[in-house]
Amino acid sequence: MDLERLVPNYIKQFQSYVASKPDEELKRLFGCRVLHRLNNNENPLGPPPAAREIIRQFPPACSALYPSGDSYALRLALAERFGKHPDQFLVGNGSSEVITAVTKAFCEQGDNIVTADRTFAVYEWVAEFSGVGRRLAPLKDYGFDGDGLLGQIDGKTKIVFLCNPNNPTGTYWPHDQLIRFLDRVDGRCVVVLDEAYMEYVERDDASDGMVLMDRYPNLVVFRTFSKIYGLAGLRIGYLVGSPPVVDMIRRAYVVYSVNTLAQAAARAAVEHGAEHIQATRALIRAGKAFLREALSLLGVPFLCHEGSYVMIKVPISDTLLYRRLMKRGLMIRTMSGFRFPNWIRVTVAGREVLEQFVAGLAEELKSAP
């Protein structure tokens, strides 16, 4: 078999993602008895009680049956929750599938997507392994720069990806800033507003893509059940947009990709998760207050904005610090892959875990050059 002939060049040049080893294997490798996951922005409270009950009572016999191919009941619940038509929603197996479907629907070789140079990396990855160009605008004050993004748009740009709040910096565009940007795009391309962390934002001036898409039919909003709803292990997210745009994306969608349990748990979260959202916000609010004070006392630069995470600049290699903290049972995210060398991202967790993290970080910083 001649792989050189069969495989497109953009696949040959793409570097595949290397997943982390299972927790038990990591504990064995680093010699720690307990591992606190502060790397993936998972909800320390887990799923809402109603979703927990769905998971606990899931009938094994249902595993032999195919799921709803279009997540019908969940789309009805989402439509009721947000006051839209069910056909405006598409549900996918995690955010990567949603991103891939939009890219496939609008881009072909020779086209490009536009996004920031230091944001959620999957926008770039999907473009790269799809043979689509990507044009990157530098961040400004750790946030998306509207002028910079507009300057990257050309006649081949099909999609602009905005992560709001941005992962990993936590900066966000307020309502008025987003409207100004959409007005200047003027329908020239699809604007994807990735609101994976929107439920964490409590600022009065926050934008909400759900209320803007009637005015801007080129706007597509992403949301997820992996973060505040605590269903990351079930891999389920969704998009919503104007009917003509969603109809085009549906043509590139893979049906039956979202399993039955994920659909049922997500529906319960939508219908009965309001108290859980408030409880999670309170935990994150308290955790951020603790980290702001503790990190200020340590004298290290940090970014603590919206979302469920904090960025910290450290005086040593982020990968070296990762290994040292792993020996203490503390798993953080290195930021070199996000083009933030010598920064780490830390998930906001409960007070006890955060105290262990700060104590471990302080000890490691003492031995830093």
* Residue 52 is assigned to a structural domain of this protein: no
DSSP 108-125: -BTBEEEEESSS-THHHH
CB 292 within 8 A of CB 305: no
Residue span of the structural domain in which 215 resides: 62-271
CB 295 within 8 A of CB 286: no
Give the pLDDT of the chain (369 residues) as one tens digit per residue.
888 899 998 888 888 888 889 999 999 999 999 999 999 999 999 999 999 999 999 999 999 999 999 999 999 999 999 999 999 999 999 988 999 999 999 999 999 999 999 999 999 999 999 999 999 999 999 999 999 999 999 999 999 999 999 999 999 999 999 999 999 999 999 999 999 999 999 999 989 999 999 999 999 999 999 999 999 999 999 999 999 999 999 999 989 999 999 999 999 999 999 999 999 999 999 999 999 999 999 999 999 999 999 999 999 999 999 999 999 999 999 999 899 999 999 999 999 999 999 999 999 999 876
Kindly state whether residues 163 and 140 are assigned to the same domain: yes
Kindly state whether residues 264 and 184 are assigned to the same domain: yes
pTM of the model: 0.95
Kindly state whether residues 85 and 15 are assigned to the same domain: no
Kindly state whether residues 266 and 247 are assigned to the same domain: yes
**Domain end position, chosen among 250, 271, 292:** 271
Using alpha carbons, select from 47, 81, 24 the residue that is nearest to residue 234.
47
* Residue 53 is assigned to a structural domain of this protein: no
- HSE, CB side, 13 Å, CA atoms: give it for residue 172: 27
Kindly state whether residues 99 and 244 are assigned to the same domain: yes
Give the pLDDT score at 200: 96
Kindly state whether residues 74 and 205 are assigned to the same domain: yes
Kindly state whether residues 338 and 250 are assigned to the same domain: no
* Residue 38 is assigned to a structural domain of this protein: yes
Q: For the chain, how many structural domains are there in total?
A: 2
* CATH code, domain carrying 86: 3.40.640.10
- HSE, CB side, 13 Å, CA atoms: give it for residue 133: 13
* Residue 37 is assigned to a structural domain of this protein: yes
Give the pLDDT score at 154: 97
